[in-house]
Structure formats: C-alpha cells, structure tokens
Chain A
Amino acid sequence: MSSRDAIVAEIPRLRRYARALTGNADQADDLVQDTLERALEKWRLWHSARELRPWLFSIMHNLFVDSRRRAGRIDYCDADELDEVPQRSQAGDALELRDLDRALALLPTEQREVLLLVGLEELSYAEAARSLGVPQGTVMSRLSRARSRLQSILNGEAVPQLKVVKT
C-alpha cells in the first residue's frame, strides 16, 4: 500500500472521530481536510499503518486545540447554545445522534478526546496517549472522569451547565 493509499484508507475513521469531536459535519470535514494537508506536508518517513493512525490523530488533536483556542477559548459550552439537528425520517437515530452530540459537547475537550479515541476509535491507551501527547496515566484519569460525567449527563443528572471561559 502506498503512503497516499495508507492515508486515504484512514479518512473514514478521521471523519468519524472529527464528527463526534466537533458535533458538526461541516466543521468535522474542515478539520479532516486540515489534518490531511498537514499530514502530507509532514510526511517524511515510512509509517506503518499501525503507527499512522495515532500520528494522524495527534495532528488532528493539535489543529483542533489550536482552533478552539483561536475561537475564544471556550472549553465547553452550554447545552442551550448547541445547534438543533434537523429532524430526519429516521427519528430515532437522529434523536440519538443529537443527544450524544449534546452530551459530548458538555464534556471538557480533553475528556471528550480521550473518551472518543478509546471508546469510539478503539485506540489502545498507549496510542491515545501518543495521539494527545500526554502520559498514559493522564489518559486513564481523563477517561475515568469522562465516563462518569457522560453517564451523569445521559442519565439526566445535574451536571455543571457552566460556560467556562479561560482567560
């Protein structure tokens, strides 16, 4: 498999992760496009498919964090501010998607990233740590907090509904 083919083969997974991370299909594809451009610029060595994935996720992570920082340093936002997802004919699926988009948006970015890399993208803890540039112990503590917080949100329990703006 050529290097281009190897990267192209990862696009569906990058899109899935970006979609869940941003909660918005257009933003997700913008992020994927930026990630691919950066990846092709930085492509120096042969990466086996095994190493390629965490590397691509790490590029996406850096771009995502930068874009959030530029966009006003909002770490997580109020549920009322989220866009309404248009209703589709498969109402059940659309509602489920909207519920999850909203719930994920209520997680701090660092927790959401870990939760998605491990729970959705099924990266190992070591791969998630490499993707995010943090120690594995940090991945574990974020994962633990993310899961209990998501559980509270999905159960409709009270969670902080604050808009935290870092200054």
Chain B
Amino acid sequence: MNAPISDDDLHAYADNRLDAARLTQVEGWLAAHPEHRGQVDAWRSQSARLHRAYDAVLDQPVPARLMPAANQSRWFEMRRVAFVGWLMLGTVIGFMLRGEPARQAPPAQAGVSLPHMAAVAHAVYTPEVRHPVEVGADQEAHLVGWLSKRLGAELKPPRLDEAGYRLVGGRLLPGERGEVAQFMYENAAKNRLTLYVQPQAAQAADASFRYANEKGIDVFYWIDGRFGYALSGSTGREDMLRLATLVYRQR
C-alpha cells in the first residue's frame, strides 16, 4: 500500500493536493528526510510570492472594453435555456424508460461555492505577516460599522476568546454575488482562523452545519438568516467543529 514517495508526491504535498492517507505518508517521510523539507517549503514560498505579486490584479476594476456586450449575452442565454430544456426532457424520458430511482440532486450552488471561496480566501490571507487584515481589531467599532454598511446588515465579529482566539481584524472581499467579509482570529500558537461571511439571497433557507475539506483546510459552513458563514482553519476537524459551534451560538 505504501508506494514510495515520488517527486510528484512532494509537489502535490506543496500544492495541498494529497488525500488524507497519502498526506500522512508523505508527512511521515518528510519527518524522516528533513533534507527535502526545505525544497517543499521553497516551492510553497514561490507560490506565495506569485500571489503577492499578482493578486493585486484581482482587485483592480475590469476595463470596460473587456466586458462582454449585454445583447450578446441574451442570445447565449437563450441557447443555454434551450439546451437545459432538452437536457431536462432527456432526463425525464430516461427516468421514465428506465424506472430507476433518480440520482440525488447536486447541492445548491451556494452550498458548493461557499466553502471553496472561504478556503481560498483563508489560504490567501492567513500567511500574511504584514497585512493580514484591512482594519485591525484595535479599531473594532470602525470595522463593525464599515463591514455592516458594505454588506447591508448588522455584522459583528463573534468572540472566540474563551477558545483562546483573539480577533485580529477583518477585510472586505469580492465574492461571487457581491461583497463578502472576512474576520481573522489568531491564538497564542499563531494558528489562524478565518470567518467568511457572505450575504445570502433573501429566499435562501437556513442550512445546518456542513463540513468540507478544501485542499487541507477544514471548513464548517452554514446559512443563517441573511448570511452564509464559513469558518476555515487547519487545526483539525474536531477542533474546528467546536469553534464553529461557538461562532454559531453568538449569531
């Protein structure tokens, strides 16, 4: 079962692409071969440098010339609707002919993208040494006022002091459907958590706790009222569940 650790495994380790079983094996191997640890760290720091240099582009306004014309889109939209219609018809016919139970519907879009977006934002900002947040916890009143205004509803960072995490601060991020807030926490061991808060469509139903592992980051997420919440961290699933429960109780 234990295939030898290859160069590809080390790259996949550096890119957080290993499954849990292989991850354990590679970590064990690296512990026994510390001379390769520096290599993996160097690859990770390359990726971090790329993000530092080029992520600024993500925040720049998109030049008008790049925006596809709206009249084009209507045509494409009609074709899409037609295609989806045929697909549904085919599915219905297929279902009737075969008489087998329909497959479970995929989860709603928000349920898929929320943990992913949260984990990406977590991975981008938690390694930041100098600029982990836009507004620090020392200006909490300003932070609360600013993010509440931008997200259109009162939003207060929950307290996690009883779990040993203090608020570092927060930032505003572009999300899939507009603006998103991210709060960051840190404990004495310098472990960082982020809470990603995304306004939900008005009709979104409350959803219970869900768990996702996004490239090694544990994410607990749920929808509560006007917001979708996702708590991301790397201290293990059980610890994260405890912290997420703490956040949920303070809503």
Contacts and interface: CB of A to CB of B under 8 A. Distances in A.
B214 to A, nearest CB: 10
Contact of B73 (A4, A32, A46, A100): A4
Contacts of B66: 11, 15, 29, 32-33, 36
Q: Is the interface of A mostly helix, strand, loop or mixed?
A: helix
B23 to A, nearest CB: 15
Contacts of B17: 124-125
A43 B74 CA distance: 12
B161 interface: no
B15 A3 contact: no
A15 B52 contact: no
Q: Is the interface of B mostly helix, strand, loop or mixed?
A: helix
Interface stretch (A58-66, A71-79, A114-122, A156-164): A114-122
Contacts of A120: 47, 50-51, 54
Interface stretch (B5-13, B91-99, B152-160): B5-13
B62 interface: yes
Interface residues of B, number: 44
B7 A144 contact: yes
Contact of B57 (A2, A15, A124, A125): A15
Interface string B57-86: 111101101111010110011011001100
Given A4-B73, A29-B65, A140-B7, 13 more contacts: A2-B77, A8-B68, A15-B62, A16-B54, A40-B68, A46-B80, A93-B53, A100-B50, A101-B53, A115-B50, A119-B46, A122-B120, A124-B17
Interface of A: 1-4, 7-9, 11-13, 15-16, 19-20, 29, 32-33, 36, 40, 43-46, 49, 93, 96-97, 100-101, 115-116, 118-120, 122, 124-125, 140, 143-144, 147, 150-151, 154
